[in-house]
Structure 1
Amino acid sequence: MLNIEDLSRIKGFRFPRSVIGYAVWAYHRFALSLRDVEDLLAERGICVSYETIRDWVSRFGHQIAAKIRRDRPRPADKWHLDEAVIRIKGRSHWLWRAVDANGDVLDILVQSRRNKAAALRFLRKLMKRWGQPRVLVTDKLGSYGAAKAEIAPGLEHRQHKGLNNRGEASHCHTRRREKIMGRFKSPQQAQTFLSVHDQAASLFGPKRHRLSARSYRHARSAAFLLWAGYAAELTV
């Protein structure tokens, strides 16, 4: 992942793309703080402050996430949607997340409400990017049914709490990171961070329990190569 012989640099940056890509990968792949990533780089002889790493993550993370979305295969035609509350500066916000039948995250959206308008906004965003699914699975929140009736009245919609365990489980890694980060500082920060974090998790989480050891190692190597290629394409 970290190729210290790769000296290709982005104009105006002191460190090569491989170092920047590694820092962004480590931060989003594992439950690490910025200072933890600083220590990982220091052990490899790379002296960089955690504030610089914060800038790299903010500046380049979205580029890599966009490339992951660009190259990923079409999602399964059954989507699971769920919303979870997150506290930001004492106020409740709602994290809307959609995953397909394989558990891969399609998209997220942080909003201050979970009414029909919020559900419509999220569904429009999803369908603009991925088209229309065959089946939509949600909990019993009425906003989903009202929004679906307006945007896709013919779409099969299954509303049952037990059927949507996959959607609910998709929030677990967010809770872990939220705790490490001491909660999100703003809705914009949560949206930016999770948009990248979920795509990194999809790329490096190939459902190990479904694969043989050999297949898993192959999938992991392919993910490393993809990430290195995305890092090599980083621009200001």
Structure 2
Amino acid sequence: MRGFRHWRWHLDEMYVKLPGEMVYLWRAVDHEGEILESYSTRSRDKDAALRFIKKALKRHGLPEAITTDGLRSYRAAMNELGNAEKQEIGRRAINRVENSHLPFRRRERAMLRFRRIKTLQKFPSVHANVHNHFNLERHLFKRQIFKERR
């Protein structure tokens, strides 16, 4: 995946309740809906955004465009990295990453929440790999082919 220059990333953060505190789960999703990175932190500031973006860039290379919501931490982190011109901000532009939160929320509910931040960090990374593997993009195939591949 490294060096795929026409890729578009969608970044978003979501809160997750742990007993007694709120933590944030940062996610990066590509233009096809595959989850690239998941990272959990206790804060939602520039340093957390910077660590998350650096981790994603190191692993997957530099995309053509990065779509985010209006959180100022993204702008500050992108300015520090020198990628500010690649950032796009839009109200409905991050719907792809917002929709990627739904399977995670469903599994979180089934597991009756998380207890520690360590297990929260482990679960999304494993869940992302499994979800990416079994997500067959139903709209691209005829029903018979989709059923055979599944």
Match of 1:25 in 2: none
Name the SS for the 1:148 alignment partner. helix
Kept in 1, the 8 Å contact 2:75–2:84? The answer is no
Structure 1 gaps of 5+ residues are: 1-72, 221-236
Match of 1:81 in 2: 11
Tell whether 2:77 aligns with 1:151.
no
CA distance in 1, matches of 2:142, 2:74: 38
Name the SS for the 2:47 alignment partner. helix
Which structure's CA Rg is the greater one?
A: 1
Q: Which amino acid aligns with 1:110?
A: S
Moved over 4 A (4+): 73-76
Tell whether 2:38 aligns with 1:112.
no
Higher strand share: 2
Match of 1:207 in 2: 137
Q: Call closer, same or farther: CA 1:219–1:128 in 2, change over 3 Å.
A: farther
TM-score (norm 1): 0.59
Name the SS for the 2:39 alignment partner. strand
Kept in 1, the 8 Å contact 2:10–2:29? The answer is yes
Kept in 1, the 8 Å contact 2:25–2:40? The answer is yes
Query: Given the alignment, which residue of 120, 124, 128 partners 1:194?
Result: 124
Q: Note the 1:36-115 alignment, pairs <5 A.
A: 73=1, 77-115=7-45
Name the SS for the 1:119 alignment partner. helix
Identity %: 38
TM-score (norm 2): 0.92
Structure 2 gaps of 5+ residues are: none
Kept in 1, the 8 Å contact 2:10–2:28? The answer is yes
Match of 2:100 in 1: 170
CA distance in 2, matches of 1:215, 1:88: 42
Q: Which amino acid aligns with 1:193?
A: F
Per-residue CA deviation, residues 44-80 of structure 1 (Å, 9 max, x unaligned), is xxxxxxxxxxxxxxxxxxxxxxxxxxxxx56661000
Match of 2:110 in 1: 180
CA distance in 2, matches of 1:133, 1:126: 10
Query: Given the alignment, which residue of 70, 75, 83 partners 1:140?
Result: 70
Aligned residues: 148
CA distance in 1, matches of 2:27, 2:133: 17
CA-based RMSD of the aligned residues comes to 1.6
Q: Which amino acid aligns with 2:34?
A: D
Structure 1 residue 217: Cα displacement:
3.7
Higher helix share: 1
CA distance in 2, matches of 1:107, 1:156: 18
